[in-house]
Amino acid sequence: METAADPFPSDDAAMAHAVALAERGRGAVEPNPCVGAVLTTADRRPISDGRHERYGGPHAEPNALQAAGERARGATLFVTLEPCSHHGKTPPCADAVIAAGVARVVIGTEDPAPHVSGGGIAKLRAAGIEVKVGVSEEACRTLAAPFFKWLATRRPWVTAKWAMTLDGKTAATSGDSKWISSVQSRALVHRWRGESGAVVVGAGTLRADDPHLAPRCRDFGLSAAPRVPWRVIVGSTGTLPPNCRLSRTPEDGPVLVTVLEGAADSPLPDHAERLILPPAPHDPRQVDVLALLDELAARDVYRVFLEGGGTTAGSWFDQGQIDEVRAFVAPKLLGGAAATTPLDGRGFPTVDAAPALSGLRAEPVGDDLLLTALTSVGESPGTCWFDAAREAGQRSAQH
């Protein structure tokens, strides 16, 4: 938190702090959205902050208000998402803001959920509080995009991750890939696994790498993972070698193995489940990803972490089911025409036909460069999902 002598230079700067706070809730707050809140004086000097820390626990606004105490009276509240106005697992946040005597509320984005959808804003204004909506709106909507997608589709958010060399290779021609990325990058991967409800790889990666797929956060000096994800193998035959790490580590989380309709049964360990799926619409050798996402949603999975390899990631890309890409680029060159790349599948016939990614961010991680982008159509993916969630809510209200 900034000191009292160091005010935020703008409303956007205060909201950026709230967004950064909110991101720390990933994996712990779902199916709720990640939300952050900052309380300041009228001239934007920080008083306190808070975030939604866990599902069923207090929301961001009450946490910030409790930390401020009497200093909340007459203060300005910055919050990434419209305060709720209904009774759920916790009392309405709008009521708490009013009771605390906050004078001004700055909101990043309206909440399109049918039980909120402007109700919190209306309640605050009816109480005489000055309300400003739409500060850093796209950043706040991008933060809440996984929640908006869930409202719109009841399917989890899919993040694809890969590590590649500067010439775009994910493994050498021999198949060796340990390690392309830095230890700092690998630590991030384990944190992301622990924020996810499912970690997914293909059967080819299972055979080549014998992955563990569980978040080993403590091995990298990180705090404990908020979730124990499903470890998912996407393949057509539904086999799991008895001596592989997934078979030998029941204590590290359940395993889900997909199989195409009509395939023969094969034995699985007690902690593994076989999931029969239809084939993909355009490739009978691959599973239908939408059907898999529906099955994962039924298992309370809200975030999917797709770790590849190229065949599986390419199939998900071809089926339009990757929402976000996180790519580590290492300062190495491998070469080799037969060396693997991140995405196989059909691909696009021309460069013009390829979808343009949105919200590209680049940041150094160890010796690597981490590139993050969203795949949603349009220049404002957060707003695209916001609109989809609102439309879904309106359709639901009509029925």
What is the mean predicted confidence (pLDDT) over 257-269? 88
Ranges of H-type helices in the chain = 11-23, 60-68, 93-99, 119-126, 137-143, 145-153, 183-194, 203-209, 245-248, 289-298, 310-318, 381-398
Pairwise CA distance, residues 60 & 139, whole Å: 17
Q: What is the DSSP string of 26-92?
A: TTTSTTSPP-EEEEE-TT--EEEEEE--STTS--HHHHHHHHHGGGGTT-EEEEEEPPP-S-SSS--
* pLDDT, mean of residues 8-34: 96
What pLDDT does residue 208 have? Answer: 87
> Is there a binding annotation on residue 314?
yes
User: By mean pLDDT, which of 155-159, 233-237, 360-364 is the weakest?
Assistant: 233-237
Domains of the chain, each with CATH number or no CATH:
11-149 (3.40.140.10), 156-393 (3.40.430.10)
Q: Which residues are catalytic?
A: 61
Residue 200, amino acid: V
Q: State yes or no: 309 annotated in a binding site.
A: yes
Distance CA 359, CA 61 (A): 27
pLDDT of residue 89: 75
Going by pLDDT thresholds of 50, 70 and 90, the confidence category of residue 2 is very low
* pLDDT recorded at residue 118: 86
Residue 216 annotated as binding?
A: yes
Does the annotation place 209 within a ligand binding site? yes
29-42 mean pLDDT:
96
pLDDT at 344 over 60: yes
Contact 116, 126 (CB under 8 A): no
Region 1-28 average pLDDT: 87
> Given this model, what pLDDT does residue 379 score?
66
Can you tell me the mean pLDDT for 180-201?
Answer: 96
